């Protein structure tokens, strides 16, 4: 064990950090300006009166609610579905998830006896720690949240299988690859069990948010079992809806979002989406095709992101290891992809760490954001987002975090 410095020493170290007048932000998983610059070429495309799609449509005009065929073909491998079962919308996959929930509440999904909102009570299974915006969506629409602990292989499937038998449980969130915030990738066994488990609700839907499908931080490229195929094989073809986007491939505010599912679900989605809009921004879709071109183009771009991101993640984990390694005070993830490092501090200390960091000029995601209703009952988990600040700032921020963790731990031990 490495000895923890005395409280007075930690307070002196903390005061010195405060004296540096830092102004750092590790709250959200936003791409940095340098990452956005990788796609600067996108902004001026298609240009030169290039506005015809592969099938000869004029991309400037109305229509084409399912999205361009060439974009659907380009992302078929990522989504794990043929182009005809893919929809490409505007930016923000979160918006697609929102719309699916809104349509389900208002009208039901294929297989529903009635709209979800007409049920006495509905609930979603929520792997925890999880993504705060998934939880916020449930909260805003009065969908109850059933927490499910995460394991290294994905959600604890014994708990999922037990809870899914409850007919009030209508859906589940899943970030199957490099999950937000723990970085776990679901094992094949987890995917298979999710596909074939019994559900109490006949119209149960798995919201398969594959936001980090392409976002590797190492040379390793895990291949996730195809959830749509697994569901079809298990006789539950309508169970999963897969979501992805280019928010962290091209431009976070001007990318493309997409979903893929069964024929029935895609028909259902398009019938509803077709009432909401006459069609998506097809010029942006064309722009993406001209810019990305093919899988090789996507891979090269993602390598560019990795070169910018990997050193920042290393800076966080190495700094934490230097200050906290062997103290037994904290544990942290060493993710192989995605956008976050998950830090676990002694029980009751996470909120205090955020407060101490803020007074040092470092903004962190509020403690509790990793849990439904923003409440971490043990006040232990913190999500660190190293993508946006510059490398030197990330190093400084990680040092602040480490010092605040030690200080909060010592304060609570002495209290």
Binding site for ligand PLP (CB under 6 A): 29, 92-94, 131, 175, 180, 209, 211, 245, 247, 257
Our CB check for ligand PLP shows the closer of 71 and 408 to be 71
Least distance (Å) between residue 102 CB and ligand PLP:
15
Identify the bridge partners of residue 387 per DSSP, sorted by sequence position. none
Least distance (Å) between residue 148 CB and ligand PLP:
16
Our CB check for ligand PLP shows the closer of 10 and 211 to be 211
Least distance (Å) between residue 408 CB and ligand PLP:
26
Our CB check for ligand PLP shows the closer of 131 and 135 to be 131
Our CB check for ligand PLP shows the closer of 93 and 285 to be 93
Least distance (Å) between residue 55 CB and ligand PLP:
26
Least distance (Å) between residue 211 CB and ligand PLP:
4
Our CB check for ligand PLP shows the closer of 4 and 26 to be 26
Least distance (Å) between residue 134 CB and ligand PLP:
7
- Structure tokens of 402? 């480490």
Least distance (Å) between residue 181 CB and ligand PLP:
8
Rg (CA), the chain: 22
Our CB check for ligand PLP shows the closer of 254 and 407 to be 254
Our CB check for ligand PLP shows the closer of 7 and 136 to be 136
- Structure tokens of 351? 């909120």
- Structure tokens of 155? 């959600």
Our CB check for ligand PLP shows the closer of 32 and 247 to be 247
CA nearest neighbour of 213 among 182, 240, 247, 239: 247
Identify the bridge partners of residue 341 per DSSP, sorted by sequence position. 384
Identify the bridge partners of residue 125 per DSSP, sorted by sequence position. 146, 172
Least distance (Å) between residue 176 CB and ligand PLP:
10
């Amino acid at each position: 064990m490495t000895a923890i410095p005395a409280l007075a020493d930690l307070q002196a170290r903390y005061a010195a950090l405060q004296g540096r007048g830092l102004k750092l932000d590790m709250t959200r998983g936003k791409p940095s300006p340098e990452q956005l610059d990788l796609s600067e070429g996108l902004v001026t495309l298609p240009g030169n009166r290039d506005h015809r799609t592969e099938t000869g449509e004029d991309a400037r005009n109305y229509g084409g609610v399912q999205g361009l065929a060439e974009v659907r073909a380009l992302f078929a491998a990522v989504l794990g579905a043929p182009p005809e079962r893919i929809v490409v919308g505007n930016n923000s996959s979160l918006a697609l998830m929102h719309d699916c929930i809104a349509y389900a509440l208002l009208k039901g999904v294929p297989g529903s006896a009635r709209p979800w909102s007409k049920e006495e009570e509905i609930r979603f299974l929520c792997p925890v720690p999880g993504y705060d915006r998934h939880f916020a969506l449930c909260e805003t629409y009065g969908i109850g949240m059933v927490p499910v602990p995460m394991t290294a292989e994905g959600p604890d499937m014994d708990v999922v299988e037990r809870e899914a038998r409850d007919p009030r449980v209508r859906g589940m969130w899943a970030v199957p690859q490099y999950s937000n915030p723990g970085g776990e990738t679901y094992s094949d066994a987890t995917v298979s069990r999710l596909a074939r488990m019994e559900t109490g609700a006949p119209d149960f839907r798995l919201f398969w948010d594959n936001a980090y499908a392409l976002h590797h931080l190492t040379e390793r490229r895990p291949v996730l079992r195809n959830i749509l195929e697994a569901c079809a094989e298990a006789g539950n073809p309508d169970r999963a809806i897969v979501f992805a986007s280019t928010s962290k491939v091209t431009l976070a505010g001007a990318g493309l979002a997409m979903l893929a599912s069964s024929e029935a679900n895609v028909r259902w989605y398009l019938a509803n989406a077709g009432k909401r809009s006459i069609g998506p921004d097809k010029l942006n879709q064309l722009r993406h095709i001209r810019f990305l071109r093919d899988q090789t183009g996507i891979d090269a771009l993602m390598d560019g992101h990795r070169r910018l991101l990997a050193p920042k993640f290393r800076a966080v984990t190495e700094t934490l290891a230097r200050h906290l390694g062997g103290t037994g005070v904290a544990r942290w993830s060493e993710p192989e992809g995605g956008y976050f490092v998950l830090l676990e501090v002694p029980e009751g200390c996470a909120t205090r760490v955020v407060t101490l960091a803020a007074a040092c000029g470092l903004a962190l995601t509020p403690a509790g954001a990793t849990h439904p209703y923003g409440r971490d009952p043990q006040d232990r988990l913190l999500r660190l987002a190293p993508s946006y600040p510059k490398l030197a700032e990330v190093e400084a921020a990680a040092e602040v975090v480490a010092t605040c963790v030690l200080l909060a731990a010592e304060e609570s031990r002495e209290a």
